[in-house]
Amino acid sequence: MRLLVDVGNTQVKYVLQGTKTSSVFSDVIYVDYQTFQNQLSQGEFSQVTEIIVANVHGQEVLESIECWATEKNIACLQVHSSAQAFGVTSSYHQAERLGVDRWLALIGAKQLYPQQNILIIDAGTATTVDILDVNGQHHGGWIMPGVEVLFSSLLSRTNKIVASPSASASLEFGTDSSSCLNHGSWAMTIGAIKEAITQANNLLVLNKVLITGGNAQEIANLIPETCQLEPKLIFHGLSCFKATERRDTINN
């Protein structure tokens, strides 16, 4: 069994995959960093024989994974962005500077929908947008604050706005500061996504708009006719890689 791990900016997401050739994954599990480290140490993944990991956070979780893999003699690979892989070519001049989560989403999109022009939205701590053409060429994208960051950043820079975060996503006009700021943050995100679609269609004719990430379901609910939900997109990218040796490329 393979463990595919995405160490994000605010939490860990992972799935279990039967084999490298299997397209069947478990549901995506979202946990905080400490919970994931506890799961490693408490034998939660005793059936795992290989681990593939992407990391946009610090080294603490990676070090836990490395120690666990060493102790269990399990093959382990940390994936890094590159200029080209699995039919996808990066638009970045310094390919390694493209966030590995964005890179894996591109690879996952290529695997799921070959020969299509695709706009990929990853809505989490940051909301990122990337465009991929039928030939696997990445044409760049945007990085924007995520919904929660939009909300909290304005509160941190103002003295008179008193507001509390809300779990509900809405584009309705608010009637108090909390609803105005919450709904405004969603409206900004939706507006940016719609503009990204316009810009992408000016470049090429889109076949798909895929959305993934922690806020993907809420955004898909707000514009259901626009986006196709793909919660496991990054894991489809991760699943392309194989750890051929124990502790393959876990490094600082």
Q: How far apart are CA 56 and CA 100, in angstroms?
A: 7
Structure tokens at 175: 């009637």
Whether 101 is catalytic is yes
Q: How far apart are CA 15 and CA 39, in angstroms?
A: 13
Reduced to 3 states, what is the DSSP secondary structure of residue 185? helix
Question: Parallel, antiparallel, or unpaired for β 75-78 and 126-132?
Answer: unpaired
Q: Which letter, b or e, does each residue of 142-177 get, where b requires 16 or more Cβ atoms within 10 Å of its Cβ?
A: bebbbbbbbbbeebeeeeeeebeebeebeeeebeee
Question: Parallel, antiparallel, or unpaired for β 118-123 and 126-132?
Answer: antiparallel
Structure tokens at 65: 């994974």
Torsion from C-alpha of 1, 46, 75, 4, nearest 10 degrees:
50
Kindly name the residue from 6, 101, 130, 248 that is annotated as catalytic. Answer: 101
- Residue positions annotated with a catalytic role: 101
